[in-house]
Amino acid sequence: MPKIAIVGAGSFVFARRLVTDILTWPSLQDSTIALMDIDETKLETMAALTQRMVGQTQTGATVEATTDLRAALDGADYVTVSIRVGQGREHIEIPQKYGIDQAIGDTTGPGGVFYFIRNAPAMINIARTMEEVCPGAWMLNYTNPMVMLCWAIEQMSSIRYVGLCHSVQGTAMALADYIGAPFNEVSYWVAGINHMAWFLKFLWNGQDAYPLLWEAMKAPEIYERDIVKWEIMKHFGMLPGRYVIGLGILEEILEEEKFAQENRITLQKFEEQAKELEKTSMDYISIKEAIEKLEDEGIEKKYLEIKSLTDRKPELEKEQKKANLEKENLIKALGDVEKELIRLNTELNKFVNPEKEL
């Protein structure tokens, strides 16, 4: 069975969806899923969730979790990468100081370049580690900026890789929803590069659906769901992919933050329960130690008493001999006294009854 390494498993949205896809695909259900992240707390949460998903789907997948990149990649057949180096927003805040306001800044403009500079060294390290421990594996990259990173990997590594993103199909699903079309009945032709794509054609059952999109835009509830996208369509006559405007990703960020918050709350409850158990355990240990101490003190007291008697044995034996000698002398003295009493009694009888003497 294949081994699938998920690097950046702490990215709950991506990792959770990837695991779901793996466990629902028959040929992958017995895979080894190696979760890797440098954040141990998020990694533990995702590992527990994955184990639960494996149990619920009753598949034969094996779950591994590690903070060691080399161990996760060793022998892998596929490596998915969804990472974000650092948690700062400098790639957005620095350009903003100079009048360039980017909502996300992970693909284009100065923010995209800064984001590339931050993520590229980590991505190259992953690729070169793959060359050593799983040279035949495919890298499936979800990390941004996709185009620049794929370009860097192609220039600096020999691994097989592909950059993946759901921005196009995500947009297509939204557009189908706007015109009330079942998604399996729409088709589209999109041109551009990742996060910078345009819907040149959007068809419903083979018919141009752009007139329906222009009509749908007039509905306030639909217009307000994608204001910037609709305004771009007014100016350019066609719709961009979600990330051209940098707003579509907000849904996923909010979803990830919500998921992370829910798991943080769950983890906090586990930690509180663990503390209670630890406190109970410590109370038990304290009581046990107190009992053992008392037992030890009691045993020690008895030992000291016995030792004291043992140490005094020669002295006590000497005193016993002395007492025995004094007893013998006393008995002898009593015998002498008794003899003297008999003699005195005899003398007294002679004095009282002199006739008996005659």
Q: How many CB atoms lie within 10 A of CB 158?
A: 11
CA distances from 286 to 175, 273, 276, 280, 299 (A): 66, 20, 15, 10, 20
Q: At 97, list the tokens.
A: 């100081």
Q: Judging by DSSP bridges, how do beta strands 186-193 and 196-204 pair with one another?
A: antiparallel
Query: What distance in Å separates the CA atoms of residue 89 and residue 154, rounded to the nearest whole number?
Result: 28
In sign, the C-alpha dihedral spanning 86, 88, 89, 91 is negative
Whether 167 and 248 have beta carbons less than 8 Å apart is answered as yes
Active site residue 166: yes
Whether 190 and 180 have beta carbons less than 8 Å apart is answered as no
Name the amino acid, one letter, at 104.
Answer: I
Query: What distance in Å separates the CA atoms of residue 349 and residue 17, rounded to the nearest whole number?
Result: 131
Angle of helix 12-24 relative to helix 249-311, nearest 10 degrees, comes to 90
Angle of helix 146-156 relative to helix 109-133, nearest 10 degrees, comes to 40
Whether 3 and 32 have beta carbons less than 8 Å apart is answered as yes
Catalytic hit among 91, 166, 195, 235: 166
Ramachandran sector of residue 99 (left: φ over 0; alpha: ψ -120 to 50; beta: rest): left
Q: Which contacts qualify for 265-268: CB closer than 8 Å, 24 or more apart?
A: 266/45, 267/41, 267/45
Strands (E), the chain: 3-7, 32-36, 62-66, 78-81, 138-141, 160-163, 186-193, 196-204, 207-208, 239-240
Please list, residue by residue across 304-337, b when 16 or more beta carbons sit within 10 angstroms of its beta carbon and e when fewer do: eeeeeeeeeeeeeeeeeeeeeeeeeeeeeeeeee
Q: At 49, list the tokens.
A: 């969730």
Q: Which residues are catalytic?
A: 166
